[in-house]
Amino acid sequence: MKKIIITGGAGFIGSHLCRRLLQEGNEVICLDNFFTGTKSNIIDLMKNDYFEIIRHDVVNDIFIEADEIYHFACPASPVHYQYNPIKTMKTSILGTINMLGLAKRTRAKMLLASTSEVYGDPLVHPQKEEYWGNVNCTGIRSCYDEGKRAAETLMMDYHRQHKLDAKIIRIFNTYGPNMRPDDGRVVSNFIVQATNKKDITIYGDGSQTRSFCYVDDLVDGIIRMMNTENFTGPVNLGNPDEFTIRELAEKVLLLTKSSSKIIYEPLPSDDPKKRKPDISLAKTRLGWEPEIKLSEGLKKTIAYFQSGPGKAV
- In order of their start, the domains of the chain are 3-175+213-239+275-291 (3.40.50.720)
| Residue 80 CA neighbour count, 13 Å, CB half | 18
pLDDT in tens, 224-249: 999 999 999 999 999 999 999 999 99
Burial class, 266, CB count within 10 angstroms (exposed 0-12 / middle 13-18 / buried 19+): exposed
Q: Looking at 61-70, 75-84, 145-154, 287-296, which range is the least confident one?
A: 75-84
Amino acid occupying residue 214: Y
146 phi and psi angles, rounded to 5 deg: -75, -30
For residue 310, pLDDT over 70 is answered with: no
**Residue 4: strand, helix, or coil:** strand
d(CA 152, CA 167): 9
Q: How wide is the angle at C-alpha 197 spanned by C-alphas 78 and 176, nearest 5°? A: 45
Characterize 230-243 residue by residue with b for buried, 16 or more Cβ atoms within 10 angstroms of its Cβ, and e for exposed: eebbbbbbbbbebb
Burial class, 141, CB count within 10 angstroms (exposed 0-12 / middle 13-18 / buried 19+): buried
Mean pLDDT (whole number) for 202-221: 94
- Using CA atoms of 185, 191, 192, 195 in order, give the dihedral in degrees to the nearest 10: 170
31 phi and psi angles, rounded to 5 deg: -105, 130
d(CA 218, CA 212): 10
Find out whether 200 and 260 touch, Cβ atoms under 8 Å.
yes
Alpha helices in the chain (DSSP H): 12-23, 78-81, 85-106, 142-162, 186-195, 215-227, 245-256, 280-286, 294-305
Give the model's confidence band at 30: pLDDT under 50 very low, under 70 low, under 90 confident, else very high: very high
Give the model's confidence band at 80: pLDDT under 50 very low, under 70 low, under 90 confident, else very high: confident
For residue 146, pLDDT over 80 is answered with: yes
- What residues are annotated to the active site? 144
Give the model's confidence band at 308: pLDDT under 50 very low, under 70 low, under 90 confident, else very high: low
d(CA 108, CA 110): 6
